[in-house]
Amino acid sequence: MANEKLRAALKQAFDESTRIYRERGFQRRIGFGKKPALISVDLANAWTRPGNPFTCEDIDEQIIPGMQKLLKACRDNGHPVVHVTTAYQITDRNNPNTDMGLWHHKIPVEAVDIKDEHLWAIDSRIAPIEGEWVMMKKRASAFSGTPLAGYLRAAGVDTILVTGVTATACVRTTICDGLADGFRTIAVKECIGDRVPGAVEWNLFDIDAKFADVEPVDACVAYLNSVNQRNVDT
C-alpha cells in the first residue's frame, strides 16, 4: 500500500514536471551513436548481495537478469564492457590520510574495505570475462579521477550504456560526467537501482529530462545487436 501511494504521488509529480520541462525545451533526445560501450557501475557484492549497508533493491529480480542480456549482446558483438567497482584503503574516518576526500564523513566507508576483496568483487552472476576491464574508483562518478574517458576514446566509443547502482549517486554522476565529456549517454532503465524507495523513479525521470536518454533494456539489446550491421549499411 505504501509503495502504491508513493508511485501515485510520483506519477502526479512527473506529469506536472513533464509539462514544465516540455514548455521550456527540456526532454530532448541524444540518441544512440555508432560505437557503444557498456559501463556497469558498482554491481559488486557489497551492493548486490544481502546484509551490507550498501545493499540495493531489485538486484535479483531485475538488474542481474537485465545485465545478463546486455552482457551477452556486448560479448556476441565485440562491444567494450567496463565493470566499475569501489573500495577504500583508509576506512577510519578520523585518519586524515583518506583515499576518498571527505566522503567518509557521510557514508559507511568501512563497508567497502579494500582488504576484503569479496566486498568489491563484481557479482559472480555477471562476472567479467577476459578482455573486459575492471576499474576501481574512489569517488561517486566513474569518470572522476579515473582514466575511463581516455580508455573509451582510444576504443573509438561515442555511446555509453550506463547501468548499476545507485541512481542517486554513482550512476547519476557517471551519466552527468559522461555527457560532459562528450559521450552519448544512455541510462538502461531496468538495470539501475538504489536502496531508497522512489529514488530510481525520480532520478531516471530527471536524468531523462537533462542528462541521458532512458531506454528499456530490450531496446538497448536490439541496438547492441544491430549497430555494427547498421554502420556497415551506411
Quote the pTM value. Answer: 0.92
Question: For the range 202-206, what are the long-range contacts, defined as Cβ-Cβ under 8 Å and sequence gap of 24 or more?
Answer: 202/10, 202/13, 203/167, 203/168, 203/171, 203/172, 204/167, 205/10, 205/14, 205/17
Contact in structure between 208 and 17 (CB atoms under 8 Å): no
Domain ranges in the chain are 31-233
- Sign (positive/negative) of CA torsion 62, 193, 208, 159? negative
Contact in structure between 93 and 27 (CB atoms under 8 Å): no
What does CATH list as the number for 31-233?
3.40.50.850
Residue whose C-alpha cell is 575492471: 134
- The rounded distance, in Å, linking the Cα atoms of 100 and 90 is 8
pLDDT confidence of residue 2? 56
CB proximity list for 158: less than 8 A, separation 6 or greater? 33, 34, 35, 36, 183, 184
pLDDT confidence of residue 4? 78
Three-state DSSP state, 126: helix
Q: Which three cell numbers stand for residue 146?
A: 579515473
91 conformational bin, left if phi > 0, alpha if psi -120 to 50, beta if neither? alpha
164 conformational bin, left if phi > 0, alpha if psi -120 to 50, beta if neither? left
- Closest by CA to 79, choosing from 197, 183, 228, is 228
Q: Which helix (H) or strand (E) holds 163?
A: strand 159-165
- The rounded distance, in Å, linking the Cα atoms of 174 and 167 is 10
pLDDT confidence of residue 34? 98
Q: What is the pLDDT of residues 211-223, one digit of tens each?
A: 999 999 999 999 9
Rounded average pLDDT per 10-residue block, the chain, 234 residues: 73 80 89 98 98 96 98 98 96 89 87 95 98 97 98 98 98 98 98 93 94 98 91 58
Active site residues: 170
